[in-house]
Structure 1
Amino acid sequence: MTRGGGTGRIGVVNAQVETVIDLDAIAHNVRVLREHAQGAAVMAVVKADGYNHGAVEVARAALGAGARELGVTTVAEGLALRAAGIDAPILCWLNTVDADYAAAVTADLEIGVSSLAQLRAVERGALTAGRPATVSLKVDTGLNRNGVSATEYPQVLRALRGLVDGDVVRLRAIFSHLAHADEPGHPMLDRQRERFVEAIALAKEYGLEPELTHLANSAATLTRPDLRFDMVRPGISVYGLSPIPELGQFGLKPAMTLQAEVALVKQVSAGEGVSYGHRWIAPRDTTIALIPAGYADGVFRSLSGRFDVWLGGARHRNVGRVCMDQFMVDLGDNAGGVREGDRAVLFGGGTGHPHALDWATTLDTIDYEVVCAPRGRAVRRYVGTGR
């Protein structure tokens, strides 16, 4: 089955560059996370088109494996899931004050509120829609990104109390986000937990009783059982990437493989340069494979000469600069018999394959950014059923 997602086109077959998404791996990872949640509900985060894996397909696989709810950033992302027929609870938590809250209310999306101004915008949306809005309060416990600040929190609670009494708004949850979850022993985690508990208690003083509370992301779900509360909210771990690589994989399976078809195999003589600027000179007579994927497709130019692909049953190093549309790898004597049409794995989860974390380490970033990178001509293809 080949389907276009955020990185492809419907009906494209034999794509030169593709991301292969294993829905069975998604389901496996959700089951692993449910085990760690130990009875707390699981919200699978499918923002940013499912971390570039395809939000709709990932959502279906995650829900089928026992996730109870879904998390996205924007109203538009939530509406796209509803349009695909997904009726599970969906929370969207990062919207501007001029977002289409009326559409969110009509579609029964849960709206994360981070300020008084935003609560008032949601109120207007509910009145326009002619039905109550379902909201969750996002409280800032120390990350200092979005979330109601400590100074504004009492004002938000007073206003929310009035809206709940007027049947304009329903309070569903109070939640927050962690700053140091990938450092399980960091004292800030305990401080944020204390602040979160205090925020919940203050809401109750205003007569506001949340149906749910949630704080834990992927890392906390896997390492800090004291931060579970009623629900956990894993993101990157759903896709099989460890949120704390130094502690291992936690039994997770990477769901994305980025691969490309070999377009050309050719001989290069000793002393000849390869690609722009001849940053690599062949030290011997060798064989070069040309891979038609470049920085327009999400292969970072800054990786030039610093990454391997899996091809012909072995790893081979990129040589020369990565170009907009292509890069080259050195096959040496081509003992694997690589030919045009063979598939090179740039990163994936198979034995021997380079891993997204390899790219991240080389680029001094995180593998979240790596899996979000494939784009342009990269076509998304799904394998497995997710059941």
Structure 2
Amino acid sequence: MTETALLPTAPLRARAEIDLAALRANVRALRERAPGAALMAVVKSDAYGHGALRCAREAVAAGASWLGTATPEEALVLRAKGGLPDGVRIMCWLWTPGGPWREAIDADLDVSVSGMWALREVSDAARAAGRPARVQLKADTGLGRNGCQPGDWAELVGAALDAERAGLVRVTGLWSHFACADEPGHPSIAAQLGAFRELVGYAERQGVRPEVRHIANSPATLTLPESHFDLVRTGIALYGISPSPEVGVPADFGLRPVMTLSASLALVKHVPAGHGVSYGHHYTTPGETTLGLVPLGYADGIPRHASGAGPVLVGGKWRTVAGRIAMDQFVVDLGGDEPAVGAEAVLFGPGDRGEPTAEDWAQAAGTIAYEIVTRIGTRVPRVHVNEVASGAGS
């Protein structure tokens, strides 16, 4: 086992252990779900909090041939520091006017275009660069977020083909995104698939010859084989978290959670009955007991909404956050148990040691597991274990 921490001195106040062997196994399991399609590993937002550069390398080592980010800045860092093999494509899709189009072209990124303003800006950058931009046209098939409206699709496709004939762009992809693929049977799924096929068909009849057509996100990759087309974009499932309880738990799809978040107890003390705990005294001890201080708080990404509900494994038993979660710490009622100061408190992990999972914290906070792992802050070192891929940067 290999292990690298941002802080080499032990013990750590807290750590987010990232099991890269689990990530590689998840890539292989997802590829088996979509054997006829290439796989994009989405590593936006620092790989959902798991560490983008290392996760990108490991995903590629396991068979991902594309990487995806939201912002161009994320993609540019990957290209510069990722230590990736030749031929790995990187796509980014969240652009605003005046973005780094020229840098993206020079870095050989695939850039998403949803409207005429973006096509004009990327064409100008390509003219200045003296080489065509790799452009993927995004259609809004019903999500109502980014993407070109169907009524404007003909104009965008026609302008893109004009730019392609002028040597300014190469239309490498046609794509869209589901709104409700995490809700099996939702009527919007079939409607969006139909709209996507129609819009892709129109573009191809006009002369677009894309390298890839793609609409499948993690839940669609897992449950909608008819949506796989040429490429599937896997985000949260890559990190071993189910897109939703309705779709299934990770084990149902052969996935294993990659992140385990733990901390060392900073204090264990005896208190009498009726003792208030944390701000506002929303919790008072029902009897004489022991309290454990966990040195993590909302500044580290622990959701304050989980006050009084967040589960923690200490000494082999589930405990619950007692009172409010503060900026840097929270308390658990140990019920008279006396673990040593420095004992491990596990907030979440795969669950096979009896610890809570990110989904358990999501339920406690009234949110989704995506948010639980993504929000873990930079004060918590990522400790990557079981690494096999190598490359520059960290």
Secondary structure of 2:334's aligned partner? strand
Query: What's the secondary structure of 1:328's corresponding residue?
Result: strand
Structure 1, residues 235-257: CA drift from partner, whole Å, max 9, x if none? Answer: 10000001132323222101111
Cα RMSD for the two superposed structures? 1.4
Runs of 4+ in 1 over 6 A off after TM superposition: none
Query: What is the aligned counterpart of 1:317 among 300, 316, 320?
Result: 320
Cα deviation digits, residues 212-234 of structure 1 (max 9, x gap): 11110010111011111011111
1:298 to 2:301 alignment = yes
Distance 1:178 1:386 in 2: 33
How much does 1:384 deviate?
Answer: 1.1
Deviates more, 1:178-187 or 1:52-61: 178-187
Which one of the candidate residues 311, 323, 335 is aligned to 1:308? Answer: 311
Shift of 1:274: 1.7
Tell me, what secondary structure is at the counterpart of 2:234? Answer: coil
Equivalent position of 1:37 in the other structure: 34
* Cα distance per residue 1:340-372 (max 9 Å; x no partner): 111111111132111111111122211101111
For 1:355, the aligned partner's letter is T
C-alpha displacement of 1:385: 1.7
On the 8 A contact 2:305/2:366 being kept in 1, the answer is no
Matched, 1:285 2:282: no
Structure 2 letter corresponding to 1:349: P
| SS state at 1:151 partner | helix
1:175-234, Cα deviation, whole Å (9 max, x unpaired): 110111012212211111111111111112221111211110010111011111011111
Task: Tell me if the contact between 2:164 and 2:171 (Cα under 8 Å) persists in the aligned partners.
Answer: yes
* Deviates most, 13-22 or 143-152: 13-22
| Aligned pair partner of 1:275 in 274, 278, 299 | 278
Matching residue of 1:78: 75
CA displacement 1:8-39 (0-9 Å, x = unmatched): xx656432122111111111111110000022
Equivalent residue number for residue 348 of structure 2: 347
Structure 2 counterpart of 1:7: none
For 1:95 and 1:297, locate their aligned partners in 2 and report how far apart those are by CA, in whole Å: 28
SS in 2 for 1:329: strand
Residues 195-274 of structure 1 aligned to structure 2 (within 5 Å): 195-246=195-246, 247-249=248-250, 250-274=253-277
How far is the alpha carbon of 1:103 from its aligned partner? 0.2
Residue 382 of structure 2 is matched in structure 1 by: 380
AA partner of residue 277 (structure 1): G
- Aligned identity (percent) is 47
Structure 2: which 5+ runs fail to align?
Answer: 390-394
Take 1:191 and 1:386, find their aligned partners in 2: how far apart are those partners?
42
CA gap 1:168/1:12 in 2 versus in 1, 3 angstroms: farther
Secondary structure of the residue aligned to 1:152 is helix
Q: How high is the TM-score relative to the length of structure 2?
A: 0.93
For residues 55-85 of structure 1, what are the alpha-carbon distances to aligned partners after superposition, in whole Å with 9 as ceiling and x for unaligned?
A: 1111111111111111111111111101113
- Confirm or deny: 8 A CA contact 2:24 2:59 kept in the other structure: yes
In the alignment, does 2:39 pair up with 1:16? no
Rounded to whole Å, the distance in 2 between the matches of 1:49 and 1:83 is: 15
Structure 1 position 129, deviation (Å): 1.6
Task: Output the CA distance in 2 between the equivalents of 1:158 and 1:308.
Answer: 55
Bigger mean CA deviation after superposition, 183-192 or 220-229: 183-192
Amino acid at match of 1:104: A
What residue is the counterpart of 1:108 in the other structure? 108
Contact 2:273/2:285, CA 8 A, preserved across alignment: yes
Contact kept, 8 Å, 1:297 with 1:378, in 2: the verdict is yes
Residue number in structure 1 paired with 2:97 = 97
CA drift of 1:291 comes to 0.9
Equivalenced residues, count: 380
Aligned partners of 2:183 and 2:304: how far apart in 1?
Answer: 31
The amino acid that maps onto 2:224 is R
Structure 1 residue ranges without an equivalent (≥5): 5-9
* Aligned position for 2:392: none
Q: Distance in 1 between matches of 2:191 and 2:214?
A: 16
| TM-score of the superposed pair, with normalisation by structure 1 | 0.95
CA distance in 1, matches of 2:122, 2:229: 26
Deviation at 1:322, TM superposition (A): 1.3
Q: Are 2:311 and 2:360, in contact at CA under 8 Å, matched by a contact in 1?
A: no
Task: Give me the whole-angstrom Cα distance separating, in 1, the residues matched to 2:363 and 2:12.
Answer: 28
Match of 1:182 in 2: 182
Residue pair 2:311, 2:361 contacting (<8 A) in 1 also = no
Q: Distance in 1 between matches of 2:298 and 2:377?
A: 9
Q: Which residue of 1 aligns with 2:132?
A: 132
Mapped pair 1:165 → 2:165: yes
Retained in 1: the 8 A contact 2:310–2:365?
no
SS at match of 1:48: helix
Residue type matched to 2:257 in 1? P
